[in-house]
Structure 1
């Protein structure tokens, strides 16, 4: 009779992680040349350079430190205090006016906007064309 002994030892699983090559300030767009891929097992870090390049740094990124998933996002197309087209559409009702952005953001971000006609502050989602669509609130 033959015996076979199989020993399994856990080995570290290495995955790719992205690190910046230079200091990238918050608000700067990340270029492909600004990042490098390293072998590391760090949960919650960005792994695909194609998804990070062209995005905007939300916080300062330092060389040698891994880029985490929440530290970048779409570039801002609406700036703080910018006058924006504000729309509210519900069924056949459509209201269009101007508002002043109280924060900066990129496509899909929800930011506070002051309606310049009524002086009320509403929450609006930034659309790809730079307009802001009022977010409906339940209640």
Structure 2
């Protein structure tokens, strides 16, 4: 099983230097480095304690209050606008955003390039 070598704060990207392999086994604990390295912690992880999949998430590329590009496409109609992110998010997640000009709040999908799309 893989455990933290030291306390890792929430919202930290995990690197190989943060981890230690132990011989013990724990039900639900992750034991593959590729499932852990490069992920972001949802909660604080403590040295020597098992790491569960629910403790991690993909690394966020959108920060709360960040100004982002928002797009909507329907057929040949394409609309783009600036929006303010109301939460942190990783690619593939849906977050709440506020259109800066109309102040309308809506949900948008985060794309890998950091733009958001409304469906």
Give the TM-score, by structure 2 length.
Answer: 0.91
Residue 40 in structure 1 maps to residue 63 in structure 2: no
Residue 31 in structure 1 maps to residue 31 in structure 2: no
In structure 2, the residue corresponding to 1:50 is in which secondary structure?
Answer: helix
Match of 2:77 in 1: 93
Larger RCO of the pair (alpha carbons < 8 Å, separation 6+): 2
Deviation at 1:37, TM superposition (A): 2.5
Contact 2:84 2:99 in 1 (8 A): yes
The partner residue of 1:52 within 36, 55, 64 is: 36
Match of 2:54 in 1: 70
In structure 2, the residue corresponding to 1:84 is in which secondary structure?
Answer: strand
Structure 2 residue runs of 5 or longer lacking an equivalent are none
Match of 1:82 in 2: 66
Deviation at 1:66, TM superposition (A): 0.7
Q: 2:107 and 2:99 mapped to 1: Cα distance? A: 10
Deviations, residues 21-70 of structure 1 (Å, cap 9, x unaligned)? 11000111101121122330412x22211221111111100012111101
Q: 1:129 and 1:110 mapped to 2: Cα distance? A: 14
The partner residue of 1:115 within 94, 99, 116 is: 99
Q: 1:113 and 1:80 mapped to 2: Cα distance? A: 9
Structure 1 residue runs of 5 or longer lacking an equivalent are 1-16
Give the TM-score, by structure 1 length.
Answer: 0.79
Bigger-Rg structure (1/2)? 1
Match of 1:127 in 2: 111
